Structure 1
């Protein structure tokens, strides 16, 4: 999996600059601090529409 670093980004937990790496897996973008391990996720819009209130998504499987 390829990591893209976000220039100028500051980790909300450890406050380190330029340590945030963006990855994308199964239509979910995840930002991880390579220094402290803090992670944040945001699924794409089509994934969010299929999630019911009060649930978290690990992934959506759609056989074709």
Structure 2
């Protein structure tokens, strides 16, 4: 079972509560869930995503990016 960690200072895009989002990785897929309202989000691995916004050099330096929906 994956270890779930809370994201300090993060605000849930659904209920706007702070410090209620937890993150974990399962089968190389990032998952985020709000413990207050149950909102969840899934993100495919970066190698699967086709992002033209970041240069190749920047991609190599970035560990990971989480962008909650507004």
Deviations 1:14-40 (A, max 9, x none): 110000000100000001001111001
Consecutive unaligned residues of structure 1, counting only runs of 5 or more, are 50-64
Consecutive aligned runs of 4 or more in structure 1 exceeding 6 Å deviation: none
TM alignment of 1:1-64, pairs within 5 A:
1-48=2-49
Kindly state the Cα deviation for residue 43 of structure 1 after the two structures are TM-superposed.
1.1
Aligned length: 49
Kindly state the Cα deviation for residue 5 of structure 1 after the two structures are TM-superposed.
0.5
Counterpart secondary structure, 1:23: strand
Consecutive unaligned residues of structure 2, counting only runs of 5 or more, are 51-70
What RMSD, in angstroms, separates the aligned Cα atoms of the two structures?
Answer: 1.3
